[in-house]
Amino acid sequence: MALMACVACGPEQSEEDADAKPSQPSASTRAQEPLPTPSASTRTEKPPTTPTGPQPAPRTKERAIQRYEQYLHALGREDIDTVCEVAGPGAKKAQDMGFGPCTSMYVTVFQMISPAQKKALQTATVDPQRIAVRTPDKIEMPLEAVRASVAFSESDLGSYTLEYLENDYYITDGT
């Protein structure tokens, strides 16, 4: 602002001009001068770089692992909503074979898992070196890929296939 006030004064003024004119512009002069507006380049706010709303999950091995770990942790917490969300397509196949809906099927599964196994599942991880990427849309998670503080057998946990459907990975098959 001070720089703009000096520019408004002009390059040089004689003593007469200085006596005749006030050194500051009057209120009426200031009201008529347009206020400077910052240019687009000086603004510090940036528009959001990511679109809002649900976005497709990346079609990567890492995302498939993340999704399977989400399922394992939910299984250990007995989080039926997350389990059925991730395992939905596979559970639908099982239901079509007469095993009942996902929610009732997994209530039975929860009862078959020991407390020590449930606790281990809550922090289980997947060894990326042990999974099999069949295609970017189909990834197999063998039991041997699960890293947990207790051992699991095929009858306890089994192996699963995750497929990329409707913008994310879902369990579609298990043995």
pLDDT digits (tens, 9 = 90+) for 77-110: 999 999 999 999 999 998 899 888 999 999 999 9
- Rounded Cα distance between 90 and 87, Å, is 6
**Residue 66 maps to a domain:** yes
Do the beta carbons of residue 108 and residue 75 sit within 8 Å? Answer: no
Lookup: tokens for 170: 């879902």
**Residue 44 maps to a domain:** no
**Residue 40 maps to a domain:** no
pLDDT reading at 138 higher than 90: yes
**Residue 17 maps to a domain:** no
Number of domains in the chain: 1
**Residue 154 maps to a domain:** yes
Picking from 94, 148, 99, the residue whose alpha carbon sits closest to that of residue 120 is: 148
pLDDT class of 5 with cuts at 50, 70, 90:
very low
Do the beta carbons of residue 126 and residue 73 sit within 8 Å? Answer: no
**Residue 116 maps to a domain:** yes
Do the beta carbons of residue 126 and residue 146 sit within 8 Å? Answer: yes
Instruction: Tell me the residue range of the domain where 161 lies.
Output: 61-174
**Residue 21 maps to a domain:** no
